[in-house]
Structures are given as structure tokens and as C-alpha cells.
Structure 1
């Protein structure tokens, strides 16, 4: 009877080493991210970059993305996905991202997102009635969502002081130019100074305003000396110029 004295220890160690390495290799190579996951990640990276750029302008951004169906059937894209806004994000808090692949089998998909851009602005500290003239005490600073309103807000309160509310403004509301108007410089029945001529030569007289108006508007006035009805442009409170 022949006995094989060949040493099997090296073979055993080799098999053991392969058994230990193969599971690790499987984990390292793991499943690739799905197309839906890549779309979401690319969109998040894009919005993070946008957030940083806005921060450099003194703005804060909050965003959220709609979900993407994992069953989405699109060709694998071998390179990084391109992402851009499909509209102006400063016009509305609801926006759309265009995610696309520029590979051999190109495709693109639109992804809905919510983006809130905030800046330091001013809001009404208390209810402001229509026709009230704004004072500093009526205002307080607050973060304002600039893309959540149809027209931009004010950054400098001095641009609002003395303006007149064209509508009722609720407390806490961000004040926009559409809510304000120049106050009346002349009211119907006011006695006004009427001037005519040029910078080199002019004459003045008194008259009565037949209509209310603001600086820059043209109104009819009656010359109290002649009784004539004429039209003039309001240059400042209580003053009307005749060209």
C-alpha cells in the first residue's frame, strides 16, 4: 500500500484565502446605482451648487425634490448627467430641472422641485390700512422669500417711508412695490402755486386744484385771478407748473 505524503497545507491555505477574498470582492464591486438614483443625486448636487452661489450673494436657499420612479426605463449613461433649470428659479418657488444624458443614446427628463430663495427684507409689523403713509415704526426686518411673490421686496426701508399703501397690508406680509404708491401731492380743492415760464424767466400765481393728483401727474386748476381753467403738471406738493 502506497501512502501519498504530499503536503496539502499550502493548497488548503490557498483555498481558505480565496474563500475569504471572494465575499469581499463581491461587496466592493456591489450593485451599480440605478438611473433613477443617479438622476436624483445629480439634481441634488446641482441644487447644492446653486445654494452655495446664492449664499455668496447673501441669500439662503431651501429646496426639495419630487421623487423619481425606480422603474424608470432609460439607457445607461456612461458619463455624468447634465442638470439645468428649465425656468427662472427667481420667479416662483415651484420650478423644473432638466436632467439629460449626452451619450450615444441621449435622453432627457424633467424633474419638479421646490426652491425657496430668502433674503433679509422688510414686512409689515402691524396691519396697514389702505391710504396710510408708511413710517419706520410700521416695519420690521424679516427673512423674505423673494421668489414667492410676484414682484420683488424692498431691501432698504427708506424706499418705503412716506409712501402710501394702495391696499390693506396684513401684519407679517412682505411689502412689495405693487402695494405702495406715491402719496397725493395735491388734493381736490387745495390752493396751489401755479408757475409758468422757464428757468430763466417765470411767473407765479395762485389757483385751485379741481382734481387730486401725485407728483408728475397732470391736473386741471383754476387761476384765481383770471378764472381761467388750465392744465398743469404737479412738480411737488402744492405746486403746479404750466408749460
Structure 2
């Protein structure tokens, strides 16, 4: 009889313990349900960062920073909204504003680290200032765009024939500010001044009064009239003015 009471008492204790454990689990789940999951907030921030960079060519990755575990935002009964404001330059760090527009609205600013990788033009070897670039001088290499200062270029053909403004080491990403068009006409050089009006073209001998690259406007002196005029460099020998 006493053994039976002991077993019954032990059974009640086990049931009570299971009930307490179940209650704790329910309370924990209920507590979690009252607050928005940090993972969902980070996911919304990362999606907003990728949307902001959707037009940027290359491979985009985004990773939101871990949230302070003490930060507990009320659970949102509607889908979270998130935006990233535009920036004038590509940056490796963005800030996403995550918002809840439910009955208990809130907003939270979440830092997001982004990486955009793309094949850009880099030097294949150390190059000196004034070097006229040939196809073998540069290659395409994968780079993280946010770490490149001053812009970048993506076409080897576009830089071929351009002149370096300063010396650069091997593996350096080339930017538009590092390049300039080669000088085709030098100061004092004899050139042909060409004037065009519709189908009519008139030419006269002239002398360049300054250096000029392709498409650049320079001053030349017409040797026939001795007048100074502004003309556009067409090639190594011809400059042209447009007549009305």
C-alpha cells in the first residue's frame, strides 16, 4: 500500500515537472511572439541594400550587422518595410531604415556592409607617367568597387591609346582622372586649317598656337590672313572650324 502511494506521488511529481517545463516553453514562445525577430529585421535591411544597388553592375552581397540582443522591437503584424537612401558614391557601408507600420509602429536604423565586385581595368605592370597605354599594359581583374577611389573603367579598348597622368604600380585600378588623351598637335606645328559650311570645304595653311588633343579646341593662326581663330583638332595635321 505504501509502495503504491509512493509510486503515485512520484508520478504526480513527474507530471507536475512536465507541466512546468511545458509552461516555461509556452511562456518563452509567447515572449518571443511579442517581439520582432532580429533575423527578420536584418533580412529586411539586407534586401533594401540589395535593392538600392540593383542598377550597379557586378556581384552584390549585403550583410547587416548583428543587433543588440537587448533591443526588443514589438512584433509587427504587417510585413516590415525597409529603405536605403541614395548616395552620390558607392560605399562599402550603408544604413537601412527598417519600419513597422502596424498598430504599434516603430523604425530602426540598421548598418549594412555591402560588397560589389566587378572586373575593372588594372595595370599589368608598373607604368611611368606619360606612358601611352597599349593592350598589353592593362588587364581586367576582379575588384571590390567600394574600395576603389576616384572611379574605375571596365573596357581595355577604352583606355588603349590614352596617356597616364602619373606613374602607377602594378595592379592599380585605372580611373578616368588618371588618363588623358594624347597630344596630336604641338605648339608651333604647321597644320591645315579647314573651314566647312555644308558641302563646301575651304582649306588654308596655319600654325598651331598651342598643344591639342583629339577633339580639343585650340588657337591657330591663319597664315594667309594672319588672323587668330579657334579650331577643333581633327587629327595630327588638320584643325577645323565650323562656319554658320
Q: Quick check: TM above 0.5?
A: yes
Question: Which residue does the alignment assign to 1:189?
Answer: 188
Deviations 1:43-87 (A, max 9, x none): 235526866997998732344433432223544434443222233
> Retained in 1: the 8 A contact 2:49–2:112?
no
Q: Distance in 1 between matches of 2:219 and 2:189?
A: 12
Q: Distance in 2 between matches of 1:33 and 1:152?
A: 46
Extract unaligned runs of 5+ from structure 1. Answer: 4-8
> Retained in 2: the 8 A contact 1:89–1:95?
no
Q: Distance in 1 between matches of 2:144 and 2:35?
A: 30
Question: Which residue does the alignment assign to 1:101?
Answer: 100
Q: Distance in 2 between matches of 1:130 and 1:171?
A: 13
Question: Which residue does the alignment assign to 2:238?
Answer: 239
Q: 1:160 to 1:29 in 2, by over 3 A?
A: farther
Question: Which residue does the alignment assign to 1:177?
Answer: 176
The 3-state SS of whatever aligns with 1:236 is coil
Give the C-alpha shift of residue 20 in structure 1: 5.3
Extract unaligned runs of 5+ from structure 2. Answer: 2-6
TM-score (norm 1): 0.76
Give the C-alpha shift of residue 118 in structure 1: 0.7
Q: Distance in 1 between matches of 2:187 and 2:34?
A: 70
Q: Distance in 1 between matches of 2:115 and 2:35?
A: 24
TM-score (norm 2): 0.76
Aligned length: 239
Question: Which residue does the alignment assign to 1:44?
Answer: 43
Question: Which residue does the alignment assign to 2:217?
Answer: 218
The 3-state SS of whatever aligns with 2:136 is helix
Q: Distance in 1 between matches of 2:47 and 2:40?
A: 10
Deviations 1:1-59 (A, max 9, x none): xx9xxxxx999989867765764675477445499973454323552686699799873
Q: Distance in 2 between matches of 1:44 and 1:89?
A: 25
Pair 1:59 & 2:69 matched: no
